[in-house]
Amino acid sequence: MSLYHEAAGILDAASKESGSLKSLVFGKKTWKSDQKTLFALTSEAAKWSAVLSEVVEKSGILKTEKQLTPTLALVLSHDLLLSKRGVALPQKHGLNLTISRSKARLTSELTKARIRRGFATIDGLRQAINNPETSAQGESGDQKPIVRHPRWIRVNAIKSSLEKQLQTTFSDYVQVESLSKLSGGQTKSIYLDPHIPNLVAIVQNTDIMRSKAYRTGELILQDKASCFPAYLLDPRPDEGLVIDACAAPGNKTTHVAAILSERASNEDGDSLGVIACEKNPARSQTLEKMVKIAGGDSIISIKAKQDFTKLDPESAISGEVTALLLDPSCSGSGIVGRDESTVDVHLPSASASESSQQSKKRKRSNPAKIKPETIEDSSQEDPTLEEQPMPAEEDGVKLQARLSALSSFQLRIIEHAMSFPAAKRITYSTCSVHPEENEHVVMKALASSIAAERGWRIMRRDQQVDGMRRWHIRGWKAACELGQNILDDANICDDAETIADACIRCDKLSEDGTMGFFVAGFVRDAAQNGDHVNQRKKPEEKIDHDGDDAEEWAGFDD
Ligand SMILES: C[S@@+](CC[C@H](N)C(=O)[O-])C[C@H]1O[C@@H](n2cnc3c(N)ncnc32)[C@H](O)[C@@H]1O
């Protein structure tokens, strides 16, 4: 079997599962072709597959050359059009003759595809494909981008304001009305997010990291999705204390503090309070640094090396807590660039322009793949080892075991938060795309005995803050239904449809420019709240910062 047949087989397998090429190639020892060559060809062809599938479709060669499968055409056209060495087969080899017969048509379609994307040269397009996060736009600036993953920046309301930043740091930027219109180069542009207050987007570039506003903590680099939890939590300075249970590096902690500080600007700021717990010692130090640079140290009390699940909900200070933000360790499967070897493979279809639709549908049908047994897992093992790489997608058993352990830990965090006597609102979030860590955990939390005992319910869409109510991607209904069936819905007040609609999702690398993310809120009926907690109070336990104010901020990016 030739290199191209083997490569096509690998891409076919990857396209079915959106799987990891590395494990597909290196997980098998019986290839005829050299493994490194196979990996290089398949990963390059996958990277170019969005463009090449269009080229192959529009050239019509799948109709004329019957021996070519869509994937075979993809890998062969990659080498024919883009590889310096050309097709790695003897000139008279049947496959080489077949693909070379169509070289003129394929080249012409590649030129059109490049121009449609706004690139004057093939090198420009190559650069964009190799660095999608730094090339949100074609060179001409007005064409369809390949990947829109902008640089999201939150203006830190503790230290600055959107208005001030637009007049200073972004004074030479032009406002655009959609993410797709963002451009870099000479005419820099900025997009004001319509969902999250104080959030802006620009194209990825390094300039902003050199700006004074960034170095002094007036600007914080934070993905749009990662701003959802603090905003959904809707902290109110006149209510009580807020706990961020799993806080490091501190993007959401400082966001909560910023919302409180903005809302309390006309009141006594000293009475604000956020308690930030972080279990990991090294990450606790990072959290301390971030809080300090963001100017949050008079608002935020850090509980370094503190396991949230060991925090006593019955202590006096816990009795003051009315809102909790839970962003526990998760698989991280939604993080852009986390699993570089996992790629989306776009395959050409003989009847043009069907492929992207099909690949979208394939992704959205994920809920059907949920395995019922994962929802019942009740392992008490603590799997907060988020630095561990996730098993490859196709290593189903290991992946399910890891997700199962993570979801048990995530549920424990929620149940512990639900036990705080005066708590009224909780947000739960992950940067995972897996329903096992998302809708399933929400369903289990709603069905838990502590939820029933304390009257916790889902925060319905109509109860959410404006921007979150308007957000268009909601939870997966099938995942909620499955949860409800398995768990015996006795304790769950709302139906699966309402709960799915209450859950908020962000798709990874979609036109929204976000990472993959999930957030849901829980609320309690007023009657069951500890309404004795109305007085605002700053937490007593404060970490003693070392007072090194002159230290330069290198910045954090979530
Ligand atoms: C996903 S990260 C949080 C990111 C953070 N919310 C932000 O936006 O910057 C999860 C954090 O929770 C910490 N963690 C895990 N288990 C914990 C526990 N039981 N108590 C407190 N922190 C925990 C991890 O060390 C990690 O730093």
Is any ligand 1 atom within 6 A of the Cβ of residue 252? Answer: yes
Is any ligand 1 atom within 6 A of the Cβ of residue 391? Answer: no
Residue 482 to residue 177: CA distance in whole angstroms: 39
Is any ligand 1 atom within 6 A of the Cβ of residue 359? Answer: no
Active site residue 493: no
Catalytic member of 431, 480, 503, 506: 431
Q: Long-range contacts for 177-182 (Cβ within 8 Å, ≥24 apart)? A: 179/148, 179/150, 179/511, 179/512, 179/513, 180/144, 180/145, 180/148, 180/511, 181/142, 182/136, 182/137, 182/148, 182/150
Strand segments, DSSP code E, in 45-140 are none
Feature table: binding site: 246-252, 278, 307, 327
Given the CA of residue 226, which atom of ligand 1 is nearest to it? Answer: 8
Is any ligand 1 atom within 6 A of the Cβ of residue 292? Answer: no
Q: What is the pLDDT along the chain (558 residues), one digit of tens a residue?
A: 589 999 999 988 887 665 578 888 888 888 999 999 999 999 899 889 888 988 998 899 998 998 899 899 999 999 999 998 899 999 999 999 999 999 999 999 998 888 777 677 888 788 777 765 444 444 444 444 444 578 999 999 999 999 999 999 999 999 999 998 887 666 789 999 999 999 999 987 767 888 999 999 999 999 999 999 999 999 999 899 999 999 999 999 999 999 999 998 655 555 569 999 999 999 999 999 999 999 999 999 999 999 999 999 999 999 999 999 999 999 998 887 654 444 566 777 665 433 333 333 333 333 222 222 222 222 233 344 444 445 555 456 778 889 999 999 999 999 999 999 999 999 999 999 999 999 999 999 999 999 999 999 999 999 999 999 999 999 999 889 877 776 665 567 888 999 999 999 999 878 899 999 999 999 997 555 444 443 334 444 433 333 333 333 444 455
Q: Long-range contacts for 409-413 (Cβ within 8 Å, ≥24 apart)? A: 409/328, 409/329, 409/381, 409/382, 409/383, 409/384, 410/328, 410/330, 410/437, 410/441, 411/441, 411/444, 411/445, 411/448, 412/309, 412/380, 413/245, 413/246, 413/308, 413/309, 413/326, 413/328
The reply to whether CATH 3.40.390.10 applies to domain 228-338+366-528 is: no
Whole-number Å distance, alpha carbon 250 to ligand 1 midpoint, is: 9
Is any ligand 1 atom within 6 A of the Cβ of residue 247? Answer: yes
Q: Are 136 and 182 in contact (CB under 8 A)?
A: yes
Q: Is the complex ipTM higher than 0.95? A: yes
Whole-number Å distance, alpha carbon 476 to ligand 1 midpoint, is: 25
Is any ligand 1 atom within 6 A of the Cβ of residue 501? Answer: no
What is the pTM for the complete model shown? 0.67
Q: Long-range contacts for 160-168 (Cβ within 8 Å, ≥24 apart)? A: 160/213, 160/218, 160/219, 161/198, 162/192, 162/197, 162/198, 162/200, 165/200, 165/213, 165/218, 165/219, 166/190, 168/213
Residue 21 to residue 331: CA distance in whole angstroms: 19
CA-based nearest residue to 489, from 499, 476, 501: 499
Cα distances (angstroms) measured from residue 90 to each of 1, 79, 272: 14, 13, 74
Residue 211 to residue 286: CA distance in whole angstroms: 21
Whole-number Å distance, alpha carbon 201 to ligand 1 midpoint, is: 26
Given the CA of residue 283, which atom of ligand 1 is nearest to it? Answer: 27
Q: Whose CA is closest to atom 16 on ligand 1?
A: 384
Q: Which amino acid is at 203?
A: V
Whole-number Å distance, alpha carbon 276 to ligand 1 midpoint, is: 10
Whole-number Å distance, alpha carbon 248 to ligand 1 midpoint, is: 6
Backbone angles phi, psi at 16, to 5 degrees: -70, -40
Is any ligand 1 atom within 6 A of the Cβ of residue 334? Answer: no
Domain 151-221: assigned CATH number: 3.30.70.1170
Q: Which amino acid is at 388?
A: Q
Domain boundaries, the chain: 3-116, 151-221, 228-338+366-528
Residue 237 to residue 535: CA distance in whole angstroms: 9
